[in-house]
Amino acid sequence: MNYPGSQSDNLVVGSEKIWGSFAANRIATVAYLKAKTNLEDYQDVLAENLLPDVSLITFGEYIFQRGNASLQNPSFKKS
């Protein structure tokens, strides 16, 4: 189900995953991931692809909504 505001989706295409984020006003960076992505890899994708675009797609205010990906574990914090 899609909710208003910023969303994220993972689509499996062959042996790669395509990760992207979008908001009501624009599409942000799209990243291509390996089929087997661990939690640290996933957090690097967020840091490298989502964080630089956050202010552009949200005008400085946002709520991060995680999807159903098993790697999106809210109890793990990267130091």
pLDDT band (50, 70, 90) for residue 65: low
Is the model's pLDDT at 64 over the cut of 60? yes
The tokens describing 35, both together, are 């089929």
* Three-class SS state of 18: strand
pLDDT band at 6 (very low <50, low <70, confident <90, very high): very low
Model confidence band, residue 14 (pLDDT cutoffs 50, 70, 90): low
Burial of 62 (0-12, 13-18, 19+ CB in 10 A): middle
Q: Identify the pLDDT of residue 1.
A: 36
pLDDT tops 50 at residue 2: no
Single out the residue of 50, 48, 74, 73 nearest to residue 62, CA to CA: 50
